[in-house]
A and B are shown apart, each in its own frame.
Chain A
Amino acid sequence: MPAPPIQIEGLSKRFSKDVLAVDRLDLTVEEGQVFGLLGPNGAGKTTTLRMLVGLVRPTAGGSRLFGDVVKPGARALRRVGTLVESPGFVPHLSGLKNLELFWRAGGQHLDEADLDGALEVADLGRAISRKVKTYSHGMKQRLGIAQALLGKPDLLILDEPTTGLDPQQMREMRLLVHSIANRGATVLLSSHLLGEVEQVCSHAAVVNRGHVVATGTVAELVGRATTIYIEVDDVERARAVLSKIPGVRAVNEEGTGLSIDLEEIDRKEIVAKLVRGGVGVETVMSRHRLEDAFLSMLEEGS
């Protein structure tokens, strides 16, 4: 069996005495997965990705790409396309020239680059021969993705790929990630947006303070919606009604509303019973484990 595209074991990075950016992080990404690294800003996502491609030296632990130990300039990096934080280009050269030079700097021949495919993704039309310093943020971001796709990599590592994009561009980015995954490539992307990970990824890990808090398929993390949040006009009456419903495991006050843990009961049924019991229901929202994990660690972090 071939080695998985990404294997991270006990990865740690300490920048100074007080700053432990990544703390014994373990993660495996299997071939064909679209894997989301979800966490708030400062959770250590970017540092993890930088260590994964050999830009930052781990303090302890290590990672493998396709079975090869990661170190600066590792051969396995040939099979990896990367977008680390924002894209970076030589401002006084055109987009096209930047892509060419980027590729040739890796010691590889332009014939292997699939430049046409990348240009299609960049979708910059005639602007591709203009100097990069004239580009808008969205154009640079697209060019950055195109650069990462040069050479049709087997693994794509994208750090916050939708940062600074407008909703339309975000949608295009999601479609693009899907199409890359359909081609059979593995994708690891980081994000602080729950919705993005839900929509794009097949698997996810929630990261906080440098280590993995929860991991699994997105369906696993999201699908079992075990908690709902409601806002009602009469909290006391609602509590009374809920206490008589067998599928309700726990009711907690949360802000102006109630958070209710459910087991094997549909939320429609809950709402119907509340209304029949004379409670006016104003808001109903699903909570799921991914969001719970995410929110609880945001609270911890604040």
Chain B
Amino acid sequence: MIRVELRKQIRRLRTYIGLGICFGLPVIITIALKVGGPPHERGGGNEEGFFRLATKSGVNMPIAALSVMSMFLLPIVILLFFGESVAGEAGWGTLRYLLVRPVKRGKLLRAKVVVAFFLAIIGTALVIAGGLAAGIAAFGWHSVITPSLAVFTPRAALQQLLIGAGYVVWNFSGAAALAFLLSTMTDSPVGTVAGSMGLVIVSQILDGITAVPAGFRNWLPTHFWTAWHGLFVVPSERTDMIRGTLHQLPYAVGFLVLAWWWFKRKDILS
């Protein structure tokens, strides 16, 4: 079942484009920095911070790329993988044919989630691969200087980055589970992305307003999204990462259980 799903999803223009963006954008950014030189303005936040230092070492580049893409572009691509999985079948008119086979609906959902999750990992890995390849080609294999002025050997920085990337993927799980829930409810893949991305954006906006009580902001699904930056200070700050990891669980589990419950009972009319 999982192999069948994978086969169906991989050979598609949509998947190529999504994954192509993941790989291509860090490359384009690198070229822009190489041609235009490093940005001189003093940046405020960490994302700009990573960018100001992106030209110092090739390994800085994937950190900067992940940092900037993980807030908006990467979630869109990943939410599309999740949101399209069931709604896309409904749109093709193939969902009913999947479900007239002697296969439990829960099994189909499991295969869909596993494949979407796999594509999400591939997408995130490609951001790093693109940034790393282009970065090393443009700026070389040097020690990494972080915005907090900590220095990492390229190998150590890469190790931290891989942990960070795993954290980034996991952090999408709440929103992705929502996209998946919406996917079982509608026949429109675009609607699922709009809905789940809406949650992400609203959450980011609320989180950015300091007047909103911290007790509330701590519960927003995107609140700990940047906690992996703590890997690049010395000594590394992992408390927020651990909190962030646990933080996604109620969202992910809640939405997935709801999706499962809904889909089990759904009348397939598409």
Binding site for B on A (CB under 8 A): 15, 50, 53-57, 72-78, 80, 82, 84-93, 97, 101-102, 104-107, 147
Question: B101-130 interface mask toward A, CB cutoff 8 Å, 1 = contact, 0 = none?
Answer: 111110110000000000000000000000
The interface residues of chain A lying within 8 Å CB-to-CB of B3 are: 104
Of A50, A73, A76, which contacts B104 at CB under 8 A?
A73
**By the criterion CB–CB under 8 Å, are A107 and B11 in contact?**
no
**By the criterion CB–CB under 8 Å, are B268 and A147 in contact?**
no
Please report the C-alpha to C-alpha distance between residue A72 and residue B260 in the assembled complex, in whole angstroms: 14
The interface residues of chain A lying within 8 Å CB-to-CB of B95 are: 88
Asked whether B205 is an interface residue with its Cβ less than 8 Å from the other chain, the reply is: no
Contact sample, A vs B, 19 pairs, CB 8 Å cutoff: A50-B269, A53-B100, A54-B99, A54-B100, A55-B99, A56-B267, A73-B99, A73-B104, A73-B107, A77-B100, A82-B97, A84-B100, A86-B93, A88-B92, A90-B92, A97-B7, A101-B4, A105-B1, A106-B102
Query: What is the total of A-B residue contacts with beta carbons within 8 Å?
Result: 89
**By the criterion CB–CB under 8 Å, are B93 and A87 in contact?**
yes
State the majority secondary structure of interface residues on B: helix
Please report the C-alpha to C-alpha distance between residue A56 and residue B270 in the assembled complex, in whole angstroms: 11
The interface residues of chain B lying within 8 Å CB-to-CB of A86 are: 93
**By the criterion CB–CB under 8 Å, are A101 and B7 in contact?**
yes
Please report the C-alpha to C-alpha distance between residue A147 and residue B268 in the assembled complex, in whole angstroms: 19
Count B-side interface residues using an 8 Å CB cutoff: 29
How distant is B17 from chain A, measured CB to nearest CB, in Å? 13
**By the criterion CB–CB under 8 Å, are A101 and B8 in contact?**
yes
**By the criterion CB–CB under 8 Å, are A57 and B93 in contact?**
no
**By the criterion CB–CB under 8 Å, are B97 and A50 in contact?**
no
**By the criterion CB–CB under 8 Å, are B264 and A55 in contact?**
no
How distant is B23 from chain A, measured CB to nearest CB, in Å? 21
Task: Kindly report which residue of chain B lies nearest to residue A73, judged by CB atoms.
Answer: B104
Please report the C-alpha to C-alpha distance between residue A201 and residue B239 in the assembled complex, in whole angstroms: 72
The interface residues of chain B lying within 8 Å CB-to-CB of A92 are: 11-13
Binding site for A on B (CB under 8 A): 1, 3-4, 7-8, 11-13, 92-105, 107-108, 264-265, 267-269
**By the criterion CB–CB under 8 Å, are A89 and B265 in contact?**
no
Task: Kindly report which residue of chain B lies nearest to residue A103, judged by CB atoms.
Answer: B101
How distant is B112 from chain A, measured CB to nearest CB, in Å? 11
**By the criterion CB–CB under 8 Å, are B265 and A78 in contact?**
no
**By the criterion CB–CB under 8 Å, are A78 and B100 in contact?**
no
The interface residues of chain B lying within 8 Å CB-to-CB of A104 are: 1, 3-4
Of A97, A101, A107, which contacts B102 at CB under 8 A?
A107
Please report the C-alpha to C-alpha distance between residue A251 and residue B101 in the assembled complex, in whole angstroms: 53
Please report the C-alpha to C-alpha distance between residue A86 and residue B105 in the assembled complex, in whole angstroms: 21
How distant is A15 from chain B, measured CB to nearest CB, in Å? 8
How distant is A121 from chain B, measured CB to nearest CB, in Å? 16
Please report the C-alpha to C-alpha distance between residue A104 and residue B111 in the assembled complex, in whole angstroms: 13
**By the criterion CB–CB under 8 Å, are B102 and A55 in contact?**
no
Please report the C-alpha to C-alpha distance between residue A93 and residue B105 in the assembled complex, in whole angstroms: 23
Task: Kindly report which residue of chain A lies nearest to residue B101, judged by CB atoms.
Answer: A106
**By the criterion CB–CB under 8 Å, are B267 and A57 in contact?**
yes
Please report the C-alpha to C-alpha distance between residue A92 and residue B97 in the assembled complex, in whole angstroms: 17
The interface residues of chain B lying within 8 Å CB-to-CB of A75 are: 102
The interface residues of chain B lying within 8 Å CB-to-CB of A15 are: 267
Once A88-B96, A105-B1 are accepted as A-B contacts, the answer to whether A73 and B269 lie under 8 Å apart by CB is no
Please report the C-alpha to C-alpha distance between residue A240 and residue B251 in the assembled complex, in whole angstroms: 83
Please report the C-alpha to C-alpha distance between residue A72 and residue B265 in the assembled complex, in whole angstroms: 9
A78, A84, A105 — which one has the most chain B CB atoms within 10 A of its CB?
A105
The interface residues of chain A lying within 8 Å CB-to-CB of B264 are: 72
Q: A73-B101, A107-B1 are in contact. List 15 more A-B contacts (CB 8 A).
A: A56-B269, A74-B102, A82-B100, A84-B96, A88-B95, A88-B96, A89-B94, A90-B8, A93-B11, A97-B7, A101-B4, A104-B4, A105-B98, A105-B101, A107-B101
Which 3 A-B pairs give the minimum distances between C-beta atoms?
A88-B93, A106-B101, A55-B268
How distant is B192 from chain A, measured CB to nearest CB, in Å? 18
